Amino acid sequence: RVPGQARIPKTAKVRSFPLIERYNAVWIWTGDAALADPQKIIAIDHYSEPGWKVLEGGYQYHEASYVNIADNLMDPAHTTFVHGRTIGMPSASEIPVEVEESEFHVCAHRWTNNIEPIATDRKITQFSGRIDRRQSYNYFPPGISRVDAVTISTGQEHTEEVIARGIRTAGYKFLTPETGHRTHFFWMQLRNFDVPDYKMADYIQAQDSTFQEDNVILSSIQREQQATGVVQQTWIAIDEAPTKMRRMLQRMLDAERAQAQP
């Protein structure tokens, strides 16, 4: 629409794409418009649920492939070594993970029991004493990650009722590729506890700093891969979830290419 006139000049016309607003975000489909399906947009649990707070998060620009970023987000082991000042747990480095997979979902999860609270919990919440902590790393192709965390006092049974009363967060990352080696990184977090106003800036900074720590390492990896041409992966047991993630994504790419062939 052009104010004051009915005719739209040819030079003012642009290509349009299916678009929907949901969860205070804009979801755009840049492929065949006939294939756009709003039902495929991920459901963000607890978004409007009483007792849960939404931190809209923010945006970062990562000079790394969205595939490498997704790989990192599905790797439980890296938190010990990269995020020691925020969410890392030294005691978790030797604990194996359980991995589950469905058609369009990969999940890696584990409990780390009878440990000290992580740095972020000590700084922001009133949690004290030793804890049990569960982390669940979820991948929804092609570019959405959700990391669920629950913290409870140690010594309790890990029942759903006990978990529901614990300190819980659900962190979402939405990866939008710009090129094969640059990615727009959006994040959002939901939590079931209050953060005092005077601590909120520190809380947001803790989340943002965690992702920037990843960015530094992933950007270095990307530069090295481009400079040397070496992209070979070395698979280890803790990498079962990232491996399944990459294979799932490759199956989707292969299917898309097959459909595109005449």
Same-domain status, 17 and 69: no
Which residues have CB under 8 Å from 6's CB, separation 6+? none
Residue 78 shares a structural domain with residue 60: yes
Looking at the structure, do residues 127 and 177 belong to the same domain, yes or no? yes
Reported as a single tens digit per residue, the pLDDT across 46-89 is 999 999 999 988 899 999 999 999 998 998 776 665 655 666 56
Give the pLDDT confidence of 23-51 residue by residue, as tens digits.
999 999 998 899 999 999 999 999 999 99
- Summarize pLDDT for 169-179 with one digit per residue, the tens: 999 999 999 99
User: pLDDT at position 259, please?
Assistant: 82
Structural domain of residue 146, as residue ranges?
Answer: 51-260
User: Edge-to-edge, what's the strand order for the sheet holding 105-115?
Assistant: 53-62, 182-191, 167-179, 144-153, 131-140, 105-115, 98-102
Half-sphere exposure of 245 (CA within 13 A, CB side): 28
Reported as a single tens digit per residue, the pLDDT across 136-156 is 999 999 999 999 999 999 999
For residue 10, is pLDDT > 70? yes
Look up the CATH number of the domain holding residue 151.
Answer: 3.90.380.10
Cα separation, 189 vs 178, whole angstroms = 23
Q: How many domains does the chain have?
A: 2
CB atoms within 10 A of CB 26: 9
